[in-house]
């Protein structure tokens, strides 16, 4: 509940900042216009964000025939989490990674890269998929879409405020307001980015906790995070580099140079996440993976395709 309250407060801060930038451009009228624009943008993102993100990454949907083991594992974990079966996608990139998207559990999708299918064991992949299903269960996919939309709009409005200047502060008596508007225009994008990153980090910790509960073993996810982080540091995720605004969606920061748990990171440090998962395993009396928590019918990660090994 604390994480949800914190996320709500951060979203409220982003909305207030967006309205403040609108005020800097056009006073009370600009503030109202900014609020209406934010509502329209978020409405568009609500209905279209999942298709936009999946399209950016050239994700290919797979069914129980095309990827029986992967599809079966997602189905079993979704049942454990009490969720409808999400759509399953594969992204062609060598970097092991995964993300979830969709406006609600009934319209959700889970995407994994071809690299993660090669790099992880069955148990480790179960931990990753459980983490992504936790994002869906907690409706983080919608929260992060709204956050990214507002943050992007703040940057756009801030540019207008800087170049056009605050119209309500053009008289000499309001010169101080004009200066304040310019300062706000300069700082607003940075503040919005920091708030976006803070929300992302908060939701990642919660999804780790919930995901460990879904798959039944925190150490599976801990081992997966260690492997993915090591690969991500030396493997380029080309689509992610082309669309850095989507980096917060992935289970591990997909861009070169990411990883430190600081103000400018979209993700908590992998070391911190692993430490929390290991502490969960100790508290739960677990010291090694329990194979019974993974469906025994799931085996090697074969994916059928029309040409070539991966589809």
- What is the set of active-site residues? 132
Measured over the CA atoms of residue 202, residue 114, residue 246 and residue 244, the dihedral's sign is positive
- Between strands 87-91 and 108-113, the pairing is parallel
Assigned token pair, 238: 């080309």
- Give, rounded to a whole angstrom, the gap between the first and last alpha carbons of the chain: 41
Nearest of 211, 278, 240, 310 to residue 97 by alpha carbon = 240
Q: On the CB side of 293, how many CA atoms lie within 13 Å of its CA?
A: 25
- Are 258 and 247 a contacting pair, CB within 8 Å? yes
* Residue 68 neighbours by CB under 8 Å, 6+ apart: 302, 304
Assigned token pair, 213: 């509960």
SS3 178: helix
Nearest of 226, 198, 233, 221 to residue 289 by alpha carbon = 221
Task: Give, in order, the Cα–Cα distances in Å from 14 to each of 91, 110, 150, 202.
Answer: 31, 27, 7, 15
Query: DSSP states of 37-55 as a string?
Result: HHHHHHHHHHHHHHHHHHH
Chain length of the chain: 311
Separation between Cα atoms, residue 116 and residue 124, nearest integer Å: 10
Hunting for tokens 């748990």 — which residue is that? Answer: 261
- Are 136 and 108 a contacting pair, CB within 8 Å? yes
Separation between Cα atoms, residue 245 and residue 154, nearest integer Å: 14
């Amino acid at each position: 509940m604390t994480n949800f309250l914190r996320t709500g407060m951060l979203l409220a801060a982003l909305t207030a900042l967006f309205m403040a930038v609108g005020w800097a451009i056009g006073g009370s009228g600009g503030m109202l216009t900014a609020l209406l624009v934010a509502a329209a943008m978020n409405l568009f993102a609500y209905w279209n964000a999942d298709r936009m993100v999946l399209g950016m990454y050239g994700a290919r949907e797979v069914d129980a025939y095309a990827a029986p083991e992967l599809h079966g594992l997602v189905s079993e974990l979704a049942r454990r989490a009490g969720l409808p079966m999400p759509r399953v996608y594969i992204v062609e990139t060598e970097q092991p990674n995964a993300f979830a998207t969709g406006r609600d559990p009934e319209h959700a999708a889970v995407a994994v890269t071809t690299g993660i299918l090669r790099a992880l064991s069955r148990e480790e992949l179960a931990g990753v998929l459980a983490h992504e299903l936790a994002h869906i269960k907690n409706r983080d996919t919608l929260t992060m879409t709204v956050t990214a939309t507002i943050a992007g709009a703040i940057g756009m409005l801030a540019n207008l405020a800087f170049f056009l200047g605050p119209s309500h502060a053009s008289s000499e008596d309001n010169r101080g307001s004009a200066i304040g508007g310019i300062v706000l225009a300069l700082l607003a994008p940075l503040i919005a980015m920091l708030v976006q990153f803070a929300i992302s980090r908060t939701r990642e910790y919660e999804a780790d906790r919930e995901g460990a509960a879904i798959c039944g073993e925190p150490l599976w996810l801990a081992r997966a995070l260690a492997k993915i982080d090591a690969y991500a540091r030396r493997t380029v995720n080309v689509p992610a580099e082309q669309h850095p605004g989507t980096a917060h969606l992935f289970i591990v920061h997909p861009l070169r140079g990411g990883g430190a748990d600081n103000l400018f990171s979209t993700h908590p440090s992998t070391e911190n996440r692993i430490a929390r998962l290991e502490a969960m395993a100790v508290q739960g009396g677990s010291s090694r993976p329990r194979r019974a928590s993974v469906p025994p019918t799931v085996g090697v990660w074969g994916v059928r395709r029309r040409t070539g090994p991966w589809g």
